[in-house]
Structure 1
Amino acid sequence: MIDETLHQTVRVDLGERAYDIVIGPGVLAETGTYLATLAPGTRCAVVTDENVAALHLDAVRASLSGAGFEPGTLVLPAGEATKDFGHLRQTVEALLDARLERGDLVVALGGGVIGDLTGFAAAVTRRGMGFVQIPTSLLAQVDSSVGGKTGINAPQGKNLVGAFYQPRIVIADTAVLDTLPVREFRAGYAEVAKYGLINDAPFFSWLEDNLDAITAGGPARTQAIAASCRAKAAIVARDEREAGERALLNLGHTFGHALEGITGYRSDVLVHGEGVAIGLVLAHAFSARMNLCSPDDVKRVTAHLETAGLPTDLTPVRAHVPDADALMDFIAQDKKVSRGALTFILTRGIGEAFIADDVPASEVRAFLQQMLES
């Protein structure tokens, strides 16, 4: 049973497409109840990866079966390489072979890779099937499972093929995070810190004071995840398709995606959250270079992420970066270039991020060259 003292629900207010994010230990075992209430009389399929299947698939299937579902299952390889055209085709064909109908549910059980891929498959199969997110990583619980961005990677860059497609519900069990490798939990924490750095300086201060309690689990972990989801939900409700304010959620990501891309998305070198952590520091350092924020802000961000066990400079990727121009090629794919200027999320200090759509590419290149040489 769910411990109600550790349970929170965050509403993503999108009118007819609004949905809940249920957060807390034990909610995964209630999956069948949630889905039966959400879409009675439907069928479902679960898409997951090999690592998550070994840990959590049996519990989810048992819960679904207990609620009257007979779920089909597709188990894919784990890792960023799965987020490609080949596995998208495999997923779509599995849903069609199972003869699932448009009103049935496709359940993504896993981290960001599975959530993004499965959500995109649900969006394009039969022109849109019901979609449920069960994120099993910290990064997915606070970021990729919320807000409806789905998609796959292309050789040209990360997340360049996809769709905005909202889930029907997000079921975020905080207890499953105890099964994560330490590296994966730390990587997810970068996205938690990001929400404080965007527009909530008091939340960032709270994170600095409560990092150990969040790592240990319990009420602090639930609170951190709920606060992160609430922050993202508020932005998504105002700007679902990233016409403006939602771009703030990309703080640290333009640099981070470029670092991931230049390594070939090799998880042995850099996982997404580690790229974001480095990107958060670079975004603040570049802002300081542009005299927008204080060097003390850069030091504070760096110190907190280092305390969380995250990389904060280019050391992990240096061997894969021939020069600043190579990184600029990936940045140009990630964000639109217009007349030599780039759109970046910069900051005037902790919790004061803003969208800058006129950043000279030459300044970014010079900054990256300096970082590579330091």
Structure 2
Amino acid sequence: MEEIAVTSSSHTYKIVIGENIRFQLKSFLPKTYSSILIISDESVAPLYINDIRSNFTEEQVFQTVLPSGEQTKSMDTFYNVHTDAINAGLDRNSLIIALGGGVVGDLAGFVAATFMRGIDYIQIPTTILAHDSSVGGKVAINHKLGKNLIGSFYPPRAVIYDVETLQTLSAREIRSGYAELVKEALIADQEFFNLLLKTDIQQVTAEELQSHLSLGIKIKANIVQEDEMESGVRMYLNLGHTLGHALEAELGYGTLTHGEAVAIGLLFTLHVSENMFSKQIASHSLIQWLKENNYPFKLQQLDEHALLLKMKSDKKTVNSKIKMVLLEDIGSPVVKELTDQQILDFLHSFNRKLVTE
């Protein structure tokens, strides 16, 4: 078992990574609670919700099980979960437990941030992808015009990462999670990036996975501690997400997993970076790794103008100017403002590049 401490402006919380630790929840909680609401989804609840409930034999425990998928991060679901919390009689000394992937974590965290102006919550991520979203306290729901546009910064009280729950993941979910690990490596760690390029993600051992997760989480934890409210270096964690989020919104949430969209976004970032800085960085090696690991990146011809509009609704856009996180090299991210025409030109040449790969 490994513990990583993260300090936010309001409190310090632990990220605990290990096997079977979902049965030890009480030892990781900062205090006792009047009642507990577990929020999960239809994929995860049948597998693990009873394990979580078994920790609490004396407390009042309620549960809300949501449909699986990105569409769940909606205003309607957010309102309905608040209704469940009110009907269950939750109060300011209650705890919300987010049991699931990034969708459940984002939504449950935003419910916790807004219920009675804020109650405690913990994250129990059950996907590789959620190693990223469960750390740092960014919680949100989607608007039909863009992803994560309605949300807050609200750190959890703990992140309990039982890697045994990852054994049930599909190949698609494994791909999705490893895209975010690649993102973190590109931002901060050439050695980690090289290690990932040697990894067959469908054959990775439990020990290797736990090591990869720990490296990725430490990169993210260091960044969010330095810049909790995303006014500076935390923007680097959006590497690949400007196009990634636009693809999700344009194609329809669920057509690509979040990580699959981010993987394409990372390729686009490298395409733009290599053109702007006139040097080869890692696009060839990354596209080979994506091919070897069966990532979908050969999309039908995309509407470049529609994608531009979606990119302009990104949270980093200021005065309708797109700010993209680029790489001067691996481990050297920068934020650059691009004109609409530059984006359109890069999208056009990127589309042609994907067709020929």
Q: Same fold (TM over 0.5)?
A: yes
State the distance in 2 between where 1:341 and 1:33 align: 47
Which has the higher mean CA deviation after the structures are superposed, 364-373 or 253-262? 364-373
State the distance in 1 between where 2:322 and 2:278 align: 17
Identity of aligned residues (%): 37
> Structure 1 residues 371, 202: closer, same or farther in 2, change over 3 A?
same
State the distance in 1 between where 2:325 and 2:209 align: 27
One-letter code of the match for 2:293? Answer: A
State the distance in 2 between where 1:213 and 1:305 align: 10
> Structure 1 residues 71, 354: closer, same or farther in 2, change over 3 A?
same
Which has the higher mean CA deviation after the structures are superposed, 159-168 or 284-293? 284-293
Kindly provide the CA deviation profile for residues 11-41 of structure 1, in whole angstroms up to 9, marking residues without a partner as x.
1122541100000111112224323xx2225
**Match status 1:51 vs 2:36:** no
> Structure 1 residues 130, 302: closer, same or farther in 2, change over 3 A?
same
CA RMSD, aligned part only? 1.7
Which has the higher mean CA deviation after the structures are superposed, 341-350 or 45-54? 341-350
State the distance in 1 between where 2:262 and 2:202 align: 19
State the distance in 2 between where 1:279 and 1:297 align: 14
Kindly provide the CA deviation profile for residues 241-272 of structure 1, in whole angstroms up to 9, marking residues without a partner as x.
1001000000000010011010121x2x2110
Q: Number of aligned pairs? A: 353
Residue in 2 aligned with 1:125?
115
State the distance in 1 between where 2:156 and 2:87 align: 22
Residue in 1 aligned with 2:73?
83
Residue in 1 aligned with 2:231?
243
Residue in 1 aligned with 2:12?
18
One-letter code of the match for 2:157? Answer: R
Local SS of the residue matching 1:89: helix
CA contact (8 A) 1:215 1:221 kept: no
CA contact (8 A) 2:149 2:315 kept: no
Q: Report how far residue 339 of structure 1 moved.
A: 6.1
Residue in 1 aligned with 2:331?
351
CA contact (8 A) 2:312 2:320 kept: no
Local SS of the residue matching 1:242: coil
CA contact (8 A) 2:197 2:286 kept: no
State the distance in 2 between where 1:240 and 1:99 align: 32
Residue in 2 aligned with 1:3?
none
One-letter code of the match for 1:112? Answer: G
Residue in 2 aligned with 1:29?
23
Q: Report how far residue 214 of structure 1 moved.
A: 8.4
| TM-score (normalizing by structure 2) | 0.94
State the distance in 2 between where 1:153 and 1:339 align: 21
Local SS of the residue matching 1:87: helix
One-letter code of the match for 2:72? Answer: T
Residue in 1 aligned with 2:95?
105
One-letter code of the match for 2:312? Answer: A
- 2:276 pairs, out of 290, 303, 308, with 290
State the distance in 2 between where 1:41 and 1:191 align: 33
Residue in 1 aligned with 2:345?
366
Residue in 1 aligned with 2:128?
138
Local SS of the residue matching 2:129: helix
CA contact (8 A) 1:146 1:233 kept: yes
CA contact (8 A) 1:47 1:109 kept: yes
Residue in 1 aligned with 2:185?
196
Structure 2 unaligned regions, length at least 5: none
Q: Report how far residue 292 of structure 1 moved.
A: 4.7
Kindly provide the CA deviation profile for residues 65-102 of structure 1, in whole angstroms up to 9, marking residues without a partner as x.
3xx33310011111111100000001111111111111
> Structure 1 residues 104, 216: closer, same or farther in 2, change over 3 A?
same
> Structure 1 residues 71, 292: closer, same or farther in 2, change over 3 A?
farther
One-letter code of the match for 1:155? Answer: K
> Structure 1 residues 12, 81: closer, same or farther in 2, change over 3 A?
same
Q: Following superposition of structure 1 onto structure 2, how do residues 220-299 of structure 1 map, counting pairs within 5 Å?
A: 220-265=208-253, 267=254, 269-294=255-280, 297-299=282-284
Q: Report how far residue 337 of structure 1 moved.
A: 4.3
**Match status 1:178 vs 2:167:** yes
Kindly provide the CA deviation profile for residues 52-73 of structure 1, in whole angstroms up to 9, marking residues without a partner as x.
01111111111233xx333100
CA contact (8 A) 1:48 1:110 kept: yes
State the distance in 2 between where 1:104 and 1:155 align: 31
> Structure 1 residues 368, 17: closer, same or farther in 2, change over 3 A?
same
Local SS of the residue matching 1:10: strand
State the distance in 2 between where 1:158 and 1:244 align: 21
One-letter code of the match for 1:308? Answer: N
Residue in 1 aligned with 2:63?
73
Structure 1 unaligned regions, length at least 5: 1-6
CA contact (8 A) 1:110 1:136 kept: yes
Q: Report how far residue 338 of structure 1 moved.
A: 4.8
Which has the higher mean CA deviation after the structures are superposed, 278-287 or 96-105? 96-105
Q: Report how far residue 288 of structure 1 moved.
A: 1.1
Local SS of the residue matching 1:51: coil
State the distance in 2 between where 1:292 and 1:152 align: 38
| TM-score (normalizing by structure 1) | 0.90
